Structure formats: structure tokens, C-alpha cells
Amino acid sequence: MQKKTLLILIILSSSIIYSQKIKSITEFKKQGDSLIRNRISEFDLNKNKTKEINFNSRSNQIITTEFINNKKMREKHCDYFVKEDTCVIRSFSTYKLNQTDKTERQTCYEEDSLVRFIRDKKKEKKIEILKTYSWEFFPLKKPDFEKAIVLTDTIIYDRKNRIMKKIHFSQDLKEPILETYKYSNKGYTYKLSGTKNDTIIIYKYNKQQKFVNRKKIEYTFNNSNDFQYVFEYY
């Protein structure tokens, strides 16, 4: 009877944990005998990441994202200087959806409101096309598409909506750059090809990564023993 009661309690507690929605994840990094905050990520009830803070010695890099009706509308990057209690804007973006062809357009601005790049994104079934018009080195007040550097990215997803392949191409490349992902229950293998530094990385899921994957939260944990994590729930 006691064993049966204990089993029921374990099942109930597990179901409560898995049904709870994650509000934030705080990453701590070992530094000597201490743990220091390294990163905080905050999520809304729809599992969208609304804020991320990366802690540094001089300033904290903060990314805030605003969603309306579960759609991304605005994003801001700033450096927060603790000593001065000031957050200096580095860039900000607006997002608009074309209701006719369902293309999402991101316009990224410099801190002085000059346009850094415009990116059009459209997804049909399991293929997503991103076309970027960039004036990264010479931002403009009014975009001139004839003077833009054009980059095209094709992303292919699997049945679980995981990225299988990324194909990057620009006017300066003779051949496209390829990124491929192969998944298993234990993790995935990442391969980069088409560059001078082709790479293969095997990433193994830890328990925390498996947990957030099941919750369909976009978050990547460090596998190193130098990191620890604290979850906050709604």
C-alpha cells in the first residue's frame, strides 16, 4: 500500500512539473569557489523568449522582444552599464507581416535609426526562405536595394519542425555554404561545409535539454560541468 501511494505521488509530482510553464531559466557559471550569473532568459506563456540578459564585467547585453497575439513585433538590443545605470541602444528591429503572401519583413535599425538590413522571411510547409538586403557597413536613412548586399538562406525542416539543413548563398560566394543537422534521441551531429573551416560537432543532450525540448522551448544548455541552471515557473 505504501509503495503504491509513493508511486502515485511520484507520478503526480512529475506530471505537475511537466505541465508547468517555464517563466525563466538562469544560467550560473563556476568561477573559483563561487557561482556567478551568466545568462537569464525569460519566456511568456506562449513559450516565446521575451528577454535575454548576458552578464559581462563592464556591461550586460540585453535583448528584449515584444509579441502581440503571439507574433513578434519589435526587438531591441542594448548594453546595460550597471555603474551608470544606463542601457545604451545598439540596434532595434520592427516586424511586419504581409497579409497577402504571408511574408514577414524584419527591418533592423542602428541606434541612430539608420537602416542596417531588411530581411524577408517566408515559410511554406517544411521550407523557409530568408532574403536579406544588407547595408551593414554603410547604413542608410532610406534603403537603396540596388546598393545592398543580398544574402539568401534556405532552411529545411523535418517532421518535428527541427532544422535539417541550412543553405547560405550570396553574390560573393561561388558555392553555397551548407549546415546540416542529424538527430538522435541522445543529441545531434552538426556539420558545416563549404568554408575554409569546415566543422563537425557532436552535441549530446543533457537531462535539462531533453526537458525543454519536450516543452518546445528554444534554449540551448552548456554541457560543461562549469554551468548550473535554475528554473522559475508560472
Residues spanned by the domain of 42: 22-97
Joined grid coordinates for residue 108: 533592423
Report whether pLDDT(10) > 50.
no
Report whether pLDDT(218) > 90.
yes
One domain for residues 133 and 200: yes
One domain for residues 80 and 156: no
pLDDT band at 172 (very low <50, low <70, confident <90, very high): confident
The answer to whether residue 37 is domain-embedded is: yes
The answer to whether residue 5 is domain-embedded is: no
Tens digits of residue pLDDT in 111-131:
999 999 999 999 999 999 999
The answer to whether residue 80 is domain-embedded is: yes
One domain for residues 80 and 131: no
One domain for residues 122 and 211: yes
The predicted pLDDT at position 178 comes to: 97
The predicted pLDDT at position 173 comes to: 87
One domain for residues 160 and 201: yes
Tens digits of residue pLDDT in 193-206:
999 999 999 999 99
One domain for residues 68 and 133: no
Residue whose C-alpha cell is 511554406: 124
CA distance readout (Å), 97 to 122, 133, 171: 10, 17, 27
pLDDT band at 174 (very low <50, low <70, confident <90, very high): confident
Average pLDDT over residues 68-95: 94
The answer to whether residue 43 is domain-embedded is: yes
Number of domains, the chain: 2
User: What pTM was computed for the model?
Assistant: 0.85
- Average pLDDT of the chain, as a whole number: 91
The predicted pLDDT at position 194 comes to: 93
- Specify the amino acid at residue 45: L
Euclidean distance between CA atoms 11 and 31, whole angstroms: 37
For residue 17, give the DSSP letter.
H
